[in-house]
């Protein structure tokens, strides 16, 4: 390979690499919208949001509602579904979304709990009484899993102590 061919190949590779870098810059225009959920307002109302561009119906149900109740969310032009609640009393609550009939936790809320059977997202409304649920600098002890013989069921069961 002579020097002219080597220069031509080097130039071609540089142009190809430059084109690849230029294409990568357009990715930001196609990113999904940022979703913040749950968003607790100063009056203790809560706005729930979930991104689901293909969903037909989204509802939220939570522990502050009567059993079986749910709130329908409305979809905006970006595919973000949202609803705001009335102000809630200070406490800890759990909730789930129902997206086209399928239960789901809030994908943008890192706080989840498991009650033994299902998962739910959780939130704490600040104020008097809510400090019971907040993390405090106190000794927390330890949790042990123990098996015991249940006299009523006549089987071994596991419990957390």
pTM of the model: 0.68
39-51 burial, b at 16+ Cβ within 10 Å, e below that, comes to eeeeebebebbbb
Q: Is residue 4 scored above 70 in pLDDT?
A: yes
- Of 24-28, 31-35, 118-122, minimum mean pLDDT range: 24-28
Query: CA-CA distance, 154 to 136, in Å (whole number)?
Result: 40
pLDDT for res 19: 56
Query: CA-CA distance, 84 to 133, in Å (whole number)?
Result: 23
Strand partners, 75: 81
Tell me which residue has tokens 């800890």.
Answer: 92
| Section 8-20 average pLDDT | 64
Higher pLDDT, 133 or 4: 133
Q: Check if CATH label 3.30.70.360 holds for domain 32-135.
A: no
pLDDT for res 136: 78
CA distances from 46 to 37, 66, 87, 93, 150 (A): 9, 17, 7, 11, 42
CA angle centred on 88, ends 87 and 89, rounded to 5°: 130
Q: Of 37, 134, 42, whose CA–CA distance to 88 is shortest?
A: 42
DSSP string over 39-77:
EE-TTS-EEEEEE-TT-S-EEEEETTSPTT--EE-EE-T
User: Residue 61, Cβ neighbours under 10 Å: how many?
Assistant: 19
Structure tokens at 3: 């020097």
Domain ranges of the chain: 1-31, 32-135
pLDDT for res 27: 45
């Amino acid at each position: 390979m002579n020097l002219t061919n080597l220069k031509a190949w080097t130039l071609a590779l540089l142009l190809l690499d430059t084109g690849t870098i230029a294409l990568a810059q357009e990715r930001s225009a196609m990113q999904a919208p940022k979703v913040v959920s749950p968003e607790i307002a100063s009056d203790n109302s809560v706005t729930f949001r979930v991104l689901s561009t293909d969903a037909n119906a989204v509802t939220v149900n939570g522990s502050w509602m009567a059993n079986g109740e749910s709130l329908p969310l409305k979809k905006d032009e970006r595919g973000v579904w949202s609803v705001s609640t009335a102000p809630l009393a200070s406490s800890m609550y759990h909730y789930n979304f129902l997206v086209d009939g399928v239960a789901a936790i809030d994908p943008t809320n890192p706080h989840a709990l498991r009650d033994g059977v299902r998962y739910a997202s959780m939130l704490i409304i600040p104020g008097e009484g809510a400090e019971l649920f907040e993390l405090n600098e106190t000794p927390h002890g330890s949790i042990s899993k123990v098996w015991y013989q249940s006299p009523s069921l006549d089987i071994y069961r596991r419990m957390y102590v």
